[in-house]
Amino acid sequence: MIEYLPILVFIGIAIAFPFIAFIASRLVRPARPVATKYEPYECGIEVVGEARDRYSVQYYIISVLFVIFDVETIFLFPWAVKYDVLGLFGLVEMGIFILILVVGYAYAWKKGALEWVS
């Protein structure tokens, strides 16, 4: 059982560290509450309305499309790194991949998913 002692010490430190950090930060930080600190801040612009206002469904469609296309383009990096090893096969596969992305983008554009500000 003595072989597990370093693991037990590591787990103990991992559990204790957040509590020690929170206590230390509470002791060290200055406590000067000001009403301005509790106001929402967004790029220096005064807040208009509530934070829980409703948004159009189109806003969420745009955000999902952004995430999908952003994540899909991440797959281009490994291909670019190994381009010389993959050769023609890799080029054809990436061409098909980009074609699928373009078809998806064209479909979203045709359906009007990209026109949420009007």
Sequence ranges of the domains in the chain: 2-110
In 3D space, the residue among 76, 52, 75, 55 whose CA is nearest the CA of residue 64 turns out to be 55
What local confidence, expressed as pLDDT, does residue 115 receive? 75
- pLDDT value for 8: 95
Contacts of residue 91, Cβ cutoff 8 Å, sequence gap at least 6: 83
The angle subtended at Cα 70 by Cα 89 and Cα 80, nearest 5°, is 30
**Partners of 74 in the beta sheet?**
none
- Return the CATH fold of 2-110: Methane Monooxygenase Hydroxylase; Chain G, domain 1 (1.20.58)
> Is 116's pLDDT higher than 60?
yes
Residue type, 3: E
Q: For 11-62, how does the pLDDT look when each residue is reduced to its tens digit (9 = 90+)? A: 999 999 999 999 999 999 887 878 777 777 666 667 677 767 777 777 787 7
Q: How far apart are CA 52 and CA 50, in angstroms?
A: 5
